[in-house]
Amino acid sequence: MSPSNWTWFHRLASPPYFYRLAGRLAPWFGWAAALGLAAGLYGGLWLAPADYQQGDGFRIIYIHVPSAYLSMMCYMLVAGASAIGLVWRMKLAHAVAVAAAPLGASFTFLALITGSLWGKPMWGTYWVWDARLTSELILLFLYLGFIALHQAYEDPRSGERAGAVLALVGVVNVPIIHYSVVWWSSLHQGSTVFVGSKSDISASMLIPLLTMIAAFTCYFAACLLKRIQAEILEREQNAGWVREMLEQT
Amino acid sequence: MRALAALVRRDLRLCFRRPGEVATPVLFFVMVAVLFPLGLSPQPELLAMVAPGVLWVAALLAGLIGQESLFKSDYEDGSLEQLLLGPAALELVVLTRIFTHWLTTGLPLVILSPFLGLMLDYPVQAFGTLVLSLMLGTLILSLLGAVGAALTVGLRQSGMLLPILVLPLAVPVLIFGAQGAAQAARGEDAAAALYLLGALLVLGVTLVPFAVAGALRISLES
């Protein structure tokens, strides 16, 4: 493969280029998220019929499912960016991981809160030691460990690389943790009844759900790009291009 | 090979000259296990039911207490940098060090666990499984703890940070180990749990030295 095929990759790694690219893309994702949220919430809260067993309580899935999905996808993003940062020594990749981790932790927290709010009317209790809830809780701990380690270093360069090692160790462990928790909860209790399995969900409920997932992803992308911009500015505060940009505005 | 053997001898000798460091995790293990009957209730049936979990959680916490000292003194007196510059591959040095450290912090817990099992009404016929599961488990925990120790060795608040980093990763070990010990106590076959622990140990021995060596290089750079 000729080296020129990789120029886009190297250009992406240049902080000024990525800063401008992120600044251009973020509003598009932001508006897409706003429109998607409005359409998805209207579809989910008004158009979709109440579930015949769960009543209106099921509607929390329009927040819960996108949060849970993003909480896991974001950890993959953190780990992927960490690997790129460690292997190619690309500082921008570390900035992505550092910027994404608090977002991932927030979505994990949101998924846990909405899950337990749904659990109260459905299971009769706020917390069940269900395999999925438990793995989600441990995922939150993994995020918090990453953030705590990164912040504990006085030198941010070492901190982000130490965090990257932890994220990689974590991502190897995530499937093991998940399956061990599944095994553990199947030993402890009979499988929890999940009313209304995914496969036979009706289109009037499914379309708003997919809209919400897409909208949440756009929202996540917009927030992430803005956070990366802030990270870049903080790292490059003494660089010439930042000064030039400030003088122009 | 000779360098590694010298390293083992040095670490063991250092350890025997400072017996307090070996005794601290062991004492912690015993005390945590003793706190549970005091906090719950001394009924034999209840204790027998919670004994596998209590012993495993206590061993997990005590093992982590011991891990903080893994690289600390070498980092402070500069010999860690010498090891990094030395002829032996850092990954092998790390693996040797983890094993030696386990001999002085993990193995005493394993040896002591049957006695605590007796105090918690854990059935005597299941002691074999308990000891075997803890033997495999503390080795895995030593490996996982080494990652945390290497990442936090240069930090001031490493004592608090290390458990926060490592405990979520240790969840599968706790689940398999405690389940195995509980199954053996009920007279069931605990082979599946022990096999899974063995598999985790193999995975850990294969991958952890690289993570620890990478983490040490980062810690020493700063």
Q: Is residue A24 part of a domain?
A: no
Is B200 in contact with A187 (Cβ distance < 8 A)? no
**Amino acid identity for residue A174 in this structure:** V
Q: Is residue A123 part of a domain?
A: yes
Q: Does B199 touch chain A (CB under 8 A)?
A: no
| SS3 label, residue A51 | strand
Q: Is residue A163 part of a domain?
A: yes
For residues A179 and A188, the model is more confident at: A179
Contacts A155 to B, Cβ<8 Å: 222
Write the residue in B154, B168, B207 that is nearest to A172 by C-beta: B207
Report d(CA B60, CA A244) in Å as an integer: 54
Give B58's contacts (C-beta < 8 A, 6+ positions apart). Answer: B29, B32, B33, B36, B116
Residue A52 has pLDDT above 70, yes or no: no
Write the residue in A144, A166, A176 that is nearest to B151 by C-beta: A166
Report d(CA B23, CA B112) in Å as an integer: 12
Q: Is residue A131 part of a domain?
A: yes
Residue A127 has pLDDT above 90, yes or no: no
User: What is the structure's pLDDT at A237?
Assistant: 83
Instruction: List all residues of chain A from 50 to 69 with a beta carbon under 8 Å from chain B.
Output: none
> Which stretches in chain B have pLDDT values below 70?
222
**Mutation target vs B (from A146, A176, A177; most B CBs, 10 A cutoff):** A176
Write the residue in A158, A168, A187 that is nearest to B222 by C-beta: A158
Instruction: List all residues of chain A from 172 to 211 with a beta carbon under 8 Å from chain B.
Output: 172-173, 176-177, 180-181, 183-184, 187
Residue A61 has pLDDT above 80, yes or no: yes
Of B189, B183, B82, B101, the closest CA to residue B141 belongs to: B101
User: What is the structure's pLDDT at A191?
Assistant: 43
Instruction: List all residues of chain B from 40 to 69 with a beta carbon under 8 Å from chain A.
Output: none
Using 50, 70 and 90 to split pLDDT, how confident is the model at A141? very high
Q: How far is CA A40 from the centre of its chain?
A: 19
**Mutation target vs A (from B75, B169, B205; most A CBs, 10 A cutoff):** B169
Kindly compute the dihedral angle of the four CA atoms of residues A154, A155, A156, A158, in this order, to the nearest 10 degrees.
Answer: -120
| Residue B59, min C-alpha distance to chain A (Å) | 19
Q: Does B179 touch chain A (CB under 8 A)?
A: yes
Q: Is residue A225 part of a domain?
A: yes
Instruction: Report the mean per-residue pLDDT for chain A.
Output: 85
Tell me the ipTM for this assembly: 0.87
Is B218 in contact with A177 (Cβ distance < 8 A)? no
Structural domain tally of chain A? 1
Report d(CA B174, CA B197) in Å as an integer: 10
User: What is the structure's pLDDT at A156?
Assistant: 83
Q: Is residue A74 part of a domain?
A: yes
User: What is the structure's pLDDT at A230?
Assistant: 92
Q: Does B168 touch chain A (CB under 8 A)?
A: yes
Report d(CA A141, CA A148) in Å as an integer: 10
Contacts B214 to A, Cβ<8 Å: 86, 165
Place of tokens 């819960």: A64
Radius of gyration, CA atoms only, chain A:
21
Write the residue in B155, B179, B215 that is nearest to A152 by C-beta: B155
* Beta-bridge mates of residue A55: A51
Q: Which residues form the domain of A72?
A: 33-49+57-190+215-248
For residues B157 and A227, the model is more confident at: A227
**Mutation target vs B (from A137, A160, A166, A181; most B CBs, 10 A cutoff):** A166
Write the residue in B161, B168, B179 that is nearest to A187 by C-beta: B179
For residues A103 and A248, the model is more confident at: A103
Write the residue in B168, B172, B215 that is nearest to A145 by C-beta: B168
Is A152 in contact with B161 (Cβ distance < 8 A)? yes
Is A169 in contact with B176 (Cβ distance < 8 A)? no
Q: Does A148 touch chain B (CB under 8 A)?
A: yes
Sign of the C-alpha dihedral computed for residues B123, B126, B129 and B131 taken in this order:
positive
Report d(CA A5, CA B15) in Å as an integer: 55
Residue A196 has pLDDT above 60, yes or no: no
Residue A36 has pLDDT above 60, yes or no: yes
